[in-house]
Amino acid sequence: MAADAEHARDPDHPVDPDLPAEDWNAKVRDESDQARLDRNFNELLQELRVAQAGVQILFAFLLSLAFTQRFDVLTDTQKGIYVVALLGAATAASLFIAPVSWHRLLFRRRRKHELVDAGNRFALAGLVCLFLSITAALLLIVDVVIGPVAAVVLTTLVSGCYLTFWYALPLSARMRKPRE
């Protein structure tokens, strides 16, 4: 009987995959709604820390690029790609930092549910902007170093990896029923 109770609390072994998330967490994790929201917010913050570090490095690199000597020799198309990369990184940074502002402004207002929902939307939008920025930066750099044909081919291949690992595989897993 103790093994059954332990098995029931193991998140890898769902009690009933058709249960709504809140009920599943209460039953399997023995977790209140507030504890779940606190856990969700903490998990979101950890994910944002990882993404934000990458965005900050990319954004700093892109900001400094415009002040190099070679920047003046870029074609108008390359400068356009640069602006897309720069704006994507700036927007991604804004979106990844937004939950901090929301938290400060909603602090002690008992609105954690709104904070977690908004943070999730900001994170998803930030990932899209980060993907666009990385793709544009890669396209620009490979174009300058090797040429436009190689830039398109290599950027397409790498972008395919991002699309696969960031979106296709997780969405595929999301659509599959959890294992019993």
SS3 for 31?
A: coil
- Average pLDDT of the chain, as a whole number: 86
Q: What is the pLDDT of residue 4?
A: 43
Q: Comparing 122 with 108, which gets the higher pLDDT?
A: 122
Cα separations in angstroms, 30 against 3, 5, 27: 16, 11, 5
Residues 139-159 have pLDDT tens digits of: 999 999 999 999 999 999 999
Residues 77-101 have pLDDT tens digits of: 999 999 999 999 999 999 999 998 8
Give the pLDDT mean for 38-48: 86
Name the band, by pLDDT with cuts 50, 70 and 90, for residue 2: very low
Q: Which residues contact 70 (CB under 8 A, 6 or more apart)?
A: 144
Give the pLDDT mean for 4-33: 63
Rounded to the nearest 10°, the torsion over CA 6, 12, 13, 14 is 110
